[in-house]
Amino acid sequence: MTILVTGGAGYIGTHTLVELMQAGHQVVVFDNFCNSTPAAVLRVEQICARKVKIIQGDICDRQALTQVFTSHQIDAVIHFAGLKAVGESVAKPLLYYRNNVSGTATLCEVMAEAGVTRLVFSSSATVYGDPQHLPIVEDFATCATNPYGRTKLFIEEMLRDLQRSDTSWRIALLRYFNPIGAHPSGLIGENPAGIPNNLFPFITQVAIGKRESLSVFGGDYQTPDGTGVRDYIHVVDLALGHLCALERIMDKEGVLTVNLGTGQGYSVLEMINTFEQVSGRTIPYQIVDRRPGDIASCYADPSLARHELGWVAECGLKEMCRDGWNWQQQNPTGY
Ligand code: NAD
Ligand code: UFG
């Protein structure tokens, strides 16, 4: 198949390109590089020893998107393109609604005009807000606590409405938990601009000497050691989940909403300890106040993904730390 990958130059996009190409698919990348670089796609070419078609463009640009569908025979779309910084979304909500929600609406309109109705969408565990029970099952109530999260919720609803209006649409809404790590080759990985918002890239930057120490946000949560618990998933496992979702929507109508997580939660201190063991580096840290908006614990019930997609995350925390550290060491300043 030929798959259009919006946001394909980004962190999860590049890892998914590798798995798609290694499974024999053709890919077309559409990205405006607002949070990435074409160099990342060149690394994908290096891993796969194949050229990748890259188109620089914005999902809000209807003409540019239409051009993609008229010049390529696209069978399905994996839609990663979006802005994802929670703090920025609070400061600039309209930017997030325009880019994420309106951009997705434009993409779907252009897809419909081209007769392409297979779509895999990047949603997030953030749509569960602060869950009342754990592990998190897909039919839990949804709620969002910031504009970024609301864009994911609104897009999910918009895509369900779209499918109700035209049942030829087949859509997978993939709710990612916390992707970390990198491709085992060390050629592609997460490349945050500026100070990392997320735990794992912050730890690797402390380990490489780029930052002095880690602030652990909160030591008084109702968790075994008081620090926040999350379901970290190896980015290659996550990428493979997209392939399974793609195959699944090719032969099943409707909207499939599914968690992509491991089902196992780890605390911030457990993450630090595992990273120290794997890397042989010490991570200096201090426990500071909670980060506003954070929740105590979040981990998936991944059974629906196993039943519906035949997908299970294979890698453990040590492999995530090993591969993420390998990427950081090989690319101390990113791409
Ligand atoms: P990323 O920023 O590395 O990748 C997103 C890509 O989309 C970037 O290459 C960026 O340049 C591109 N992009 C953004 N807006 C665009 C636009 N208007 N037109 C064209 N390209 C555009 O992020 P990622 O971590 O790879 O995340 C991919 C998707 O997964 C996002 O939608 C994100 O919200 C979602 N997600 C990520 C996480 C996570 O922890 N990384 C968790 C849950 C969901
Ligand atoms: N943390 C620290 N110090 C840091 C960064 C994070 O202690 O410097 C803690 C957080 O308090 C939390 C845990 O590490 O307990 C994980 O934090 P991340 O920022 O790495 O991840 P979140 O779970 O907060 O959020 C991420 C994405 C969201 C997405 C969510 C679920 O940033 O966009 O996963 O997919 F919605």
Mean pLDDT of 120-139: 97
C-alpha 265 to ligand 2 mean position (Å): 13
C-alpha 102 to ligand 1 mean position (Å): 15
Measure Cα distances from 174 to 57, 138, 300, 331 in Å: 24, 10, 12, 29
Q: Which atom from ligand 2 is nearest to the alpha carbon of 152?
A: 36
Beta bridge partners of 27: 3
Write down the CATH superfamily of domain 2-180+232-261. Answer: NAD(P)-binding Rossmann-like Domain (3.40.50.720)
- 96 alpha carbon, closest ligand: 1
Among protein residues, the one with the nearest Cα to ligand 1's atom 13 is 81
Q: What is the CA radius of gyration of the chain?
A: 19
pLDDT tens, position by position, 208-237: 999 999 999 999 999 999 999 999 999 999
pLDDT tens, position by position, 75-109: 999 999 999 999 999 999 999 999 999 999 999 99
- Provide the 3-class DSSP secondary structure of residue 219: coil
Residue 251's pLDDT band (cuts 50, 70, 90) = confident
Catalytic member of 11, 148, 221, 232: 148
Please work out whether the CB of residue 32 comes within 6 Å of at least one atom of ligand 1: yes
Residue 252's pLDDT band (cuts 50, 70, 90) = confident
Please work out whether the CB of residue 265 comes within 6 Å of at least one atom of ligand 1: no
Catalytic annotation on 285? no
Please work out whether the CB of residue 335 comes within 6 Å of at least one atom of ligand 1: no
pLDDT tens, position by position, 316-328: 999 999 999 999 9
- Output the ligand 2 site: residues, CB below 6 A: 84, 86, 124-126, 176-178, 197-199, 202, 214-217, 228, 230, 268, 291, 294
- Say what percent of the chain tops pLDDT 90: 98
Mean pLDDT of 264-275: 98
Among protein residues, the one with the nearest Cα to ligand 1's atom 33 is 84
Mean pLDDT of 149-161: 98
- 199 alpha carbon, closest ligand: 2
Please work out whether the CB of residue 259 comes within 6 Å of at least one atom of ligand 1: no
What pLDDT sits at residue 3? 98
* Average pLDDT along the chain: 97
pLDDT tens, position by position, 18-34: 999 999 999 999 999 99
Nearest to 126 by CA among 221, 231, 36: 231
pTM: 0.98
Measure Cα distances from 61 to 6, 98, 103, 107 in Å: 13, 11, 8, 9
Among protein residues, the one with the nearest Cα to ligand 2's atom 14 is 199
What pLDDT sits at residue 96? 98
Q: What is the DSSP string of 5-48?
A: EETTTSHHHHHHHHHHHHTT-EEEEEE--TT--HHHHHHHHHHH
Please determine, for residue 253, whether its predicted confidence score (pLDDT) is greater than 90. Answer: no
Residue 278's pLDDT band (cuts 50, 70, 90) = very high
pLDDT tens, position by position, 177-214: 999 999 999 999 999 999 999 999 999 999 999 999 99
